[in-house]
Amino acid sequence: MDLEKSPLALPFPDMPAIDGVTLRVARAGYKNWDRADLTYAELAEGTALAGVFTRNVCCSSEVEIGREQVKAGRARALVVNAGNSNAFTGYRGREAVEQIMAQVADSLGCDTSEVLVSSTGVIGVPLPKDKARDGIAKVLSESPASWEDAANTIGTTDTFAKGATTAAMLGDTRVVLNGIIKGSGMIAPDMATMLGYIFTDAAVEPAFLQQCLSAANAGTFNCITVDSDTSTSDTVLAFATGKAGNQPLASFDDPGADAFMAAMEDMCRQLAHLVVRDGEGAQKFIGVSVTGAASDDSARRVGLAIANSPLVKTAIAGGDANWGRVVMAVGKAGEPADRDKLGIAFGGIWAARDGLPLPDYDEEPVARHLEGREIDITVDLGLGDGKATVWTCDLTHGYISINADYRS
Amino acid sequence: MDLEKSPLALPFPDMPAIDGVTLRVARAGYKNWDRADLTYAELAEGTALAGVFTRNVCCSSEVEIGREQVKAGRARALVVNAGNSNAFTGYRGREAVEQIMAQVADSLGCDTSEVLVSSTGVIGVPLPKDKARDGIAKVLSESPASWEDAANTIGTTDTFAKGATTAAMLGDTRVVLNGIIKGSGMIAPDMATMLGYIFTDAAVEPAFLQQCLSAANAGTFNCITVDSDTSTSDTVLAFATGKAGNQPLASFDDPGADAFMAAMEDMCRQLAHLVVRDGEGAQKFIGVSVTGAASDDSARRVGLAIANSPLVKTAIAGGDANWGRVVMAVGKAGEPADRDKLGIAFGGIWAARDGLPLPDYDEEPVARHLEGREIDITVDLGLGDGKATVWTCDLTHGYISINADYRS
């Protein structure tokens, strides 16, 4: 299946090298693709590790093992297999992961707990051990690859390579954060998974790196949805090599910690938005801002009820300022809401306030806003101070074509 | 927008008269439709009333008032407006409902609390009072209409008239239940709402009628989903005229109560299935049975996670036995599940057992099953005795066409 590049794609940014990170790619041949499908990142000794994972209880062995590795907090290498998610494969799948960990640990002279593995692709087929073994042997002898190579290699049916870069001043030390990511919910038949990797040369203690990643995750990756379907393998990992030479960050009391946290949040938001921009069949990028909720959590749940509503998403696809469907989605969220206090705006123009359509509401500028690629929906619940923004894409014929017309 | 008749449509059944129920239809002109849009049912004095309503907190005045009327438990008339849901219309919407109640109560010499009103159609436009007044005056003088007329008149963009009939022996007395229903989630742009009406000549005390309806509702209307979007106006009402002359039923200890409950459940299941058969763009009717869950409630939630998954629904649309997507949906449901105990079958043929794909799994008969109109998915969680069945339809280009291509 040849997918057209998303109309919401962004160009791949110029990403600087990160001291302590070496990337390599190779072709293991998990699928009959004519391109690299195995990504390897070698990390300097002492690199700190943090991670957040899917909450899907049918998760892969990679995710189960990764959760334990993150507790230890140190990484020397990352391996990403594309074309086979190795999920729902039981002990055979687990053996394949353990073999990769042992092979890489052996070559680096490190502990297997420091070798992270992710896999993405078909569910239910154990990762072939022979292909993995030969692929790892090959990738270890490859010359270094670029960030764009790596971003392309971790992809499955992604329509563009996704990367982001940002920086922060920690006192006098400038640190860089680079990230690559793949996926868009479950972008294509049998191809599950969002996988994201963030690399920085900053010196950060593992526990604090985890704290920053978890905090940034809440308002970014946990606030995007393409189709409400949670993959069995979603993973975001952060690696801090410490090569920038700053005083290691261990808590928010340390100088520069706030700047680092802000950079981490910026990085996660950029990567999360890139996933939505490659959503299945996406033609429009939609931001849903909810204010006046009982709490921030409540605002987020109302936002997700709107962003997951097939009727809201098809209305936006059709350029239809159908605020009745937004009312419906607010009402079904199961969160505190009062019909008679509700306000709804598209592109900053209020269509309804205090539970009533505005008499002088002019649909003309709203219709123009909905013709664009970037759509803003604002809902004010008029109850409290809770607020949140979530992001999604529209629901189009492209989604059906990708997921129904193609047979696995 | 002209919609083709659903390929899953059933012919309208032969429905007997029900003593104590007289139907009439007329054209109020809420929309520029060239057909009747106002349905009126006159009910014998002493008719018992029960009802279940949407849990959407942005519900219509009709629903708010209906909830109160059901507590009183008596009805003399039902009015259904089609083409305007009167939802999110504030005090002006409420005034229109109260005017209709007063006008009908005046003509029948009954209390306004005994006049039930439902409306379905566009959200956010107050029901025009003048059209309602003239429409009610007209309908009161019409000659009686058939069940099929009434089923057609309560519809909005439904593609076929939906009715069901069943009977029960209460000791020596045969009682009849007739039902009509409209909707399929939110079947078309701005056209919300499932509305269902059940009429019986049985003598049933209101509290017990409510008990039967609520119990039947749990395993029928609450177990169907088309697109996970809960309407602001969903309503199912039951009316018992008592004209069959049986000893009035007041509890499950009364002779015939079990037979009546079974008939009520049969009726609700028939009507619920008819709604799914008219789901937006539906090409296939899908039953999802979950067994081995921690509880019946847990089984239902797992079933709904599968039935609401866009990726499962598009896989079925494409005739793809993609059990990896079923695994994913089980895992995201947030219910107790153990990946290594999971079994999945299509059309009774197991594809996976105990968390592993079956080595001798033959996709051939499964592929044939998926080519049909009626699809069965069975998931065994292997944990406990909880079980449930939910029903949905596939997700096709037709859904997108109905909801995105058409502009309101």
Q: Which residue of chain B comes nearest to A227, CA vs CA?
A: B310
Q: Does a structural domain hold residue B10? A: no
Quote the pLDDT of residue A187. 40
Beta strands A21-26; A38-43: pairing state: antiparallel
Quote the pLDDT of residue B95. 96
A230 Cβ contact list (under 8 Å, min separation 6): A54, A55, A56, B328, B331, B332
> What pLDDT, in 10s, does the model give residues B346-380?
999 999 999 888 888 888 999 999 999 999 999 99
Identify whether residues B187 and B272 lie together within a single domain. Answer: yes
Q: Which CATH number do you get for residue B348? A: 3.10.20.340
**Choice among A269-278, A368-377, B283-292 with the minimum mean pLDDT:** A269-278
Read off the pLDDT of each residue in A122-149 and give the average, rounded to a whole number.
Answer: 95
> A381: distance to nearest CA of chain B, Å?
12
Q: Which amino acid is at A341?
A: K
> B401: distance to nearest CA of chain A, Å?
8
Identify whether residues B107 and B169 lie together within a single domain. Answer: yes
Confidence of residue B408 (pLDDT cuts 50, 70, 90): very low
- Rounded Cα distance between A278 and B94, Å, is 45
Q: Which residue has the tokens 């010499």?
A: B109
Q: Which residue of chain A comes nearest to B231, CA vs CA?
A: A328
Q: Please provide residue A171's backbone torsions phi and psi, each rounded to the nearest 5 degrees.
A: 65, -120
Q: Is B387 annotated as a binding residue?
A: no
Q: Is the pLDDT of residue A184 over 70?
A: no
Which residues of chain B lie closer than 8 angstroms to A325, CB-CB?
123, 186, 229
- In this complex, which of B56, B323, B404 lies closest to A314 when CB atoms are compared? B404
Identify whether residues A228 and A315 lie together within a single domain. Answer: no
Quote the pLDDT of residue A328. 86
Q: Is the pLDDT of residue A188 over 50?
A: no
Contact B124 A323 (CB under 8 A): yes
Mutate to test the interface with B, among A325, A326, A340, A380 (most CBs of B within 10 A): A325
- Rounded Cα distance between B269 and A39, Å, is 53
User: Interhelix angle for A206-218 vs A257-277, to 10°?
Assistant: 50
Q: Is the pLDDT of residue A190 over 60?
A: no
ipTM: 0.81
Q: Does a structural domain hold residue B5? A: no
> What pLDDT, in 10s, does the model give residues A230-265?
677 788 899 999 999 999 999 999 999 999 999 999
The answer to whether the beta carbons of residues A227 and A196 sit under 8 Å apart is no
Q: Does a structural domain hold residue B343? A: yes
- Domain end: B242, B277, B312, which one? B277
- Rounded Cα distance between B144 and A357, Å, is 38
Identify whether residues A186 and A317 lie together within a single domain. Answer: no
Identify whether residues A35 and A176 lie together within a single domain. Answer: yes
Q: Does a structural domain hold residue A3? A: no
Q: Is the pLDDT of residue A408 over 70?
A: no
Contact B324 A190 (CB under 8 A): yes
Q: Which CATH number do you get for residue A107? A: 3.60.70.12
> B277: distance to nearest CA of chain A, Å?
19
- In this complex, which of A90, A192, A231 lies closest to B356 when CB atoms are compared? A90
Contact B123 A228 (CB under 8 A): no
> A305: distance to nearest CA of chain B, Å?
9
Mutate to test the interface with A, among B54, B56, B58 (most CBs of A within 10 A): B58
Contact B124 A319 (CB under 8 A): no
Q: Identify the CA nearest to A194 among candidates A147, A156, A245, A153.
A: A156
Reading the block at residue A354, the tokens are: 């205090």
Identify whether residues A152 and A50 lie together within a single domain. Answer: yes
> B90: distance to nearest CA of chain A, Å?
6
Chain A / chain B CB contacts < 8 angstroms: 212
What single-letter DSSP state applies at residue B405?
I
- Rounded Cα distance between A90 and B339, Å, is 8
- In this complex, which of A325, A394, A407 lies closest to B319 when CB atoms are compared? A407
B201 Cβ contact list (under 8 Å, min separation 6): B18, B19, B20, B21, B175, B176, B240, B241, B242, B243, B244
Q: Is B156 annotated as a binding residue?
A: yes
Quote the pLDDT of residue A28. 98
User: Alpha helix (H) ranges present in B278-373?
Assistant: 296-307, 310-317, 323-332, 363-371
Quote the pLDDT of residue A123. 81
> What pLDDT, in 10s, does the model give residues B138-147?
999 999 999 9
Q: Is the pLDDT of residue A178 over 60?
A: yes
Q: Which residue of chain B comes nearest to A353, CA vs CA?
A: B88
> What pLDDT, in 10s, does the model give residues B90-124?
888 999 999 999 999 999 999 999 999 999 988 88
Confidence of residue A90 (pLDDT cuts 50, 70, 90): confident
Q: Which residue of chain B comes nearest to A84, CA vs CA?
A: B324
- Domain end: A253, A277, A301, which one? A277
Q: Is A233 annotated as a binding residue?
A: no
Q: Is A193 annotated as a binding residue?
A: yes
Q: Is the pLDDT of residue B267 over 70?
A: yes
> A337: distance to nearest CA of chain B, Å?
7
Q: Does a structural domain hold residue A384? A: yes
- Rounded Cα distance between A75 and A237, Å, is 10
Q: Does a structural domain hold residue A355? A: yes
Top mean pLDDT of A53-62, A192-201, B265-274 is at B265-274
Contact A328 B408 (CB under 8 A): no
pLDDT > 90: percent of chain B: 69
Confidence of residue A135 (pLDDT cuts 50, 70, 90): very high
Q: Please provide residue A315's backbone torsions phi and psi, each rounded to the nearest 5 degrees.
A: -60, -45
Which residues of chain B lie closer than 8 angstroms to A396, CB-CB?
400, 404
Identify whether residues B116 and B190 lie together within a single domain. Answer: yes
Mutate to test the interface with B, among A88, A309, A354, A375 (most CBs of B within 10 A): A88
Q: Which residue of chain A comes nearest to B332, CA vs CA?
A: A56
Q: Which residues of A are tagged catalytic?
A: 193
Q: Does a structural domain hold residue B2? A: no
> A242: distance to nearest CA of chain B, Å?
36
User: Alpha helix (H) ranges present in A141-254?
Assistant: 147-153, 206-218
- Rounded Cα distance between A84 and B349, Å, is 25
Quote the pLDDT of residue A283. 94
- Domain end: B246, B277, B308, which one? B277
What single-letter DSSP state applies at residue B210?
H
Contact A331 B56 (CB under 8 A): yes
Identify whether residues B250 and B294 lie together within a single domain. Answer: no
Identify whether residues A92 and A212 lie together within a single domain. Answer: yes
Count other C-beta atoms under 10 Å from residue A248's C-beta.
Answer: 16
Contact B228 A310 (CB under 8 A): yes
Which residues of chain A lie closer than 8 angstroms to B186, CB-CB?
311, 325, 328
Identify whether residues B156 and B94 lie together within a single domain. Answer: yes
Beta strands in A131-248 (DSSP E): 162-170, 173-182, 195-200, 235-240
Quote the pLDDT of residue A70. 94
Q: Which residue has the tokens 């379907």?
A: A229
Q: Is A408 annotated as a binding residue?
A: yes
- Rounded Cα distance between A144 and A201, Å, is 18
Which residues of chain B lie closer than 8 angstroms to A186, CB-CB?
311, 325, 328
Confidence of residue A189 (pLDDT cuts 50, 70, 90): very low
Q: Which residue has the tokens 């197991």?
A: B350
Could you please report the per-residue DSSP string of A234-246? -EEEEEE--TT-P
> What pLDDT, in 10s, does the model give residues A289-330?
999 999 999 999 999 999 999 889 999 999 998 888 899 899
Q: Does a structural domain hold residue B240? A: yes
Q: Give, in order, the Cα–Cα distances in Å from B172 to each of A56, B244, B256, B284.
A: 55, 11, 9, 41
Out of B193, B235, B241, B396, which one is annotated catalytic?
B193
- Rounded Cα distance between B305 and B285, Å, is 17
What's the number of domains chain B is made of? 2
Q: Is the pLDDT of residue B192 over 60?
A: no
Quote the pLDDT of residue B403. 81
H helix or E strand, kind and range, residue B116: strand B115-122
Identify whether residues A61 and A194 lie together within a single domain. Answer: yes
Q: Is B182 annotated as a binding residue?
A: yes
Q: Identify the CA nearest to B93 among candidates B55, B65, B54.
A: B65
Domain that holds residue A110: 21-277
Contact A56 B331 (CB under 8 A): yes
- In this complex, which of B186, B310, B324 lies closest to A311 when CB atoms are compared? B186
- In this complex, which of B394, B401, B408 lies closest to A322 when CB atoms are compared? B408
Identify whether residues A90 and A238 lie together within a single domain. Answer: yes
- In this complex, which of A56, A309, A352 lies closest to B229 when CB atoms are compared? A309
Contact A395 B406 (CB under 8 A): no
Q: Which residue has the tokens 């029948």?
A: B108
Quote the pLDDT of residue B186. 55
